[in-house]
């Protein structure tokens, strides 16, 4: 008997290829948001896709997710999945501030520089900004804006927000966060951590999440997943339920309540039940260190900040950066100085780093 024709499978493959609108081999260093979805997360999404589950968070996956987060952050932790990081920050800050309240943050904080004014526009929150040399607050720097309580002419500084790891790639130690929390609580302020890259910080520190959040006195965390291998989704993580209330109402009115929440929750279950979160974050951090080492040998390129997590900040001639951007996507961090930021992801390979470093050397050689 003759072999069966393979036309149908071939046609199916051709149709699939025709729907692809990008080059799957293209790589970039602009953001860890550029990466795809980790295969283990994709498998978890497929598992949760069978049958029906109750909507709006009353599903089995979201219920189990509470235990997953308690294992990492303590028995009082409460997890509220949301769509994205900006939404998580807006919901979390609303939960710890009255209408007349303000939050103290660094001038490089994501809530100030990269969220389109969402905290101000959506929640009416004033941000008191502090200049810092390394993207990190200290109790002394907090005090530059933490004042004026009782003055009706000043938005009341009732919360502080820090980013772990920071927008400049620096990492707070557990002792540094504990000092900030103690200082804030003594002044009647609550503490929010923007943790879009909290896993990268944990990997860099070699410490469990709880040690530099719950045990340090943090009240609420925006816990990130998209930058660490998820398709979409973040979590507003309440660590101090005595002080942080009404998240469920705020999540809904902030348009962050997912109807099919199981698909957010199952991703975090896949990320956090085992060590996937750590493998992904540690790998991205290691690739950044490899890139730092590779460009150190290129004359005219200067890495301007310590590389602790998955970001590399560098200075090189602007015309070189602009030529490089045509080969690999990345962003200017500071348009005035020409400083650039190169981000590595969970799926960045050693070959990606070597190819990028070679391109840098080639473009520097064309000056």
Distance CA 190, CA 4 (A): 69
Distance CA 206, CA 203 (A): 5
Strand order in the sheet with 339-343: 302-303, 311-315, 339-343, 331-334
Strand order in the sheet with 234-238: 78-82, 234-238, 220-224, 190-195, 156-163, 101-106, 126-130
User: For position 15, what pLDDT does the model report?
Assistant: 64
66, 218, 127, 91 alpha-carbon torsion, rounded to 10°: 10
Over residues 125-156, the pLDDT tens digits come to 999 999 999 999 999 999 999 999 999 999 99
Over residues 263-316, the pLDDT tens digits come to 999 999 999 999 999 999 999 999 999 999 999 989 999 999 999 999 999 999
DSSP secondary structure of 237-289? EES-TTT---HHHHHHHTT---TTTHHHHHHHHHHHSSSHHHHHHHHHHHHHH
The residues spanned by each domain of the chain are: 28-35+276-365, 39-272
- CATH topology for the 39-272 domain: 3.40.640
Cβ neighbours, 10 Å, residue 81: 27
**What's the whole-model pTM score?**
0.93
Contact (CB, 8 A) for 180 and 160: yes
Over residues 12-22, the pLDDT tens digits come to 666 667 788 88
- Burial of residue 117 (number of CB atoms within 10 Å: 0-12, 13-18, 19+): exposed
Helix (H, G, I), strand (E, B) or coil at 182: helix
287, 289, 293, 295 alpha-carbon torsion, rounded to 10°: 70
Report the mean per-residue pLDDT for the chain. Answer: 95
Percentage of the residues of the chain whose pLDDT score is greater than 70? 96
**Ranges assigned E (strand) in the chain:** 78-82, 101-106, 126-130, 156-163, 190-195, 220-224, 234-238, 302-303, 311-315, 331-334, 339-343
* Domain 28-35+276-365, architecture per CATH: Alpha-Beta Complex (3.90)
Nearest to 108 by CA among 69, 70, 134: 134
């Amino acid at each position: 008997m003759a072999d069966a024709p393979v036309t149908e499978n071939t046609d199916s493959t051709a149709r699939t290829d025709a729907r692809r609108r990008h080059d799957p081999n293209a790589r970039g260093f602009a953001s860890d948001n550029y990466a795809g979805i980790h295969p283990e997360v994709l498998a978890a999404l497929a598992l949760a896709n069978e049958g029906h589950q109750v909507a709006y968070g009353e599903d089995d996956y979201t219920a189990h997710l509470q235990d997953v987060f308690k294992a990492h952050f303590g028995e009082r932790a409460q997890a509220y999945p949301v769509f994205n990081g900006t939404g998580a920050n807006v919901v979390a800050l609303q939960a710890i501030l009255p209408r007349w309240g303000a939050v103290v943050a660094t001038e490089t904080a994501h809530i100030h520089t990269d969220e389109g004014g969402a905290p101000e526009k959506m929640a009416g929150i004033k941000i008191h900004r502090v200049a810092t040399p390394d993207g990190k607050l200290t109790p002394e720097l907090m005090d530059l804006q933490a004042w004026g309580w009782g003055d009706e002419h000043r938005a009341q500084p009732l919360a502080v927000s820090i980013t772990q790891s920071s927008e400049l790639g620096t990492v707070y130690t557990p002792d540094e966060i504990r000092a900030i929390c103690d200082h804030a609580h003594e002044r009647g302020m609550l503490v929010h951590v923007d943790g879009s890259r909290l896993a990268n910080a944990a990997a860099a520190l070699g410490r469990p999440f709880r040690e530099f959040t719950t045990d340090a006195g943090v009240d609420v965390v925006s816990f990130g997943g998209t930058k660490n291998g998820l398709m979409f989704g973040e979590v507003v993580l309440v660590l101090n339920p005595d002080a942080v209330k009404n998240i469920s109402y705020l999540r809904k009115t902030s348009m962050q309540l997912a109807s099919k929440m199981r698909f957010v929750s199952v991703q975090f279950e896949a990320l956090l039940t085992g060590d996937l979160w750590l493998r992904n974050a540690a790998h991205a951090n290691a690739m950044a260190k490899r890139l730092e080492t590779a460009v150190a040998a290129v004359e005219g390129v200067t890495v301007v900040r310590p590389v602790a997590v998955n970001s590399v900040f560098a200075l090189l001639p602007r015309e070189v950066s602009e030529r490089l951007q045509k080969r690999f996507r990345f962003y200017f961090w500071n348009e005035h100085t020409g400083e650039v930021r190169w981000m590595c992801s969970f799926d960045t390979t050693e070959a990606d780093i070597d190819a990028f470093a070679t391109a840098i050397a080639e473009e520097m050689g064309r000056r």
